[in-house]
Amino acid sequence: MRTLSTQFRSIKRPNPNPKLCKSSSPTKSELKFNAKPKSESESWCVYLILSTNHPIKTYVGITNNFPRRLKQHNGELNGGAKASRAGRPWICACIICGFADRSEASIFESKWKAISRKAPRKNQNEHLSEQSEDPSLPLLQHRQAALKKVKGSLDCTHLEFVWHLDPL
pLDDT of 129: 46
DSSP class of residue 150 equals: H
Residue 32 has pLDDT above 80, yes or no: no
pTM: 0.71
Alpha-carbon distance values, 96 to 48, 55, 91, 99, 105 (Å)? 9, 25, 15, 8, 9
For the segment 106-116, the average pLDDT, to the nearest whole number, is 97
Domain boundaries, the chain: 44-120+133-163
pLDDT tens column, 55-99: 899 999 999 999 999 999 999 999 878 888 888 999 999 999 999
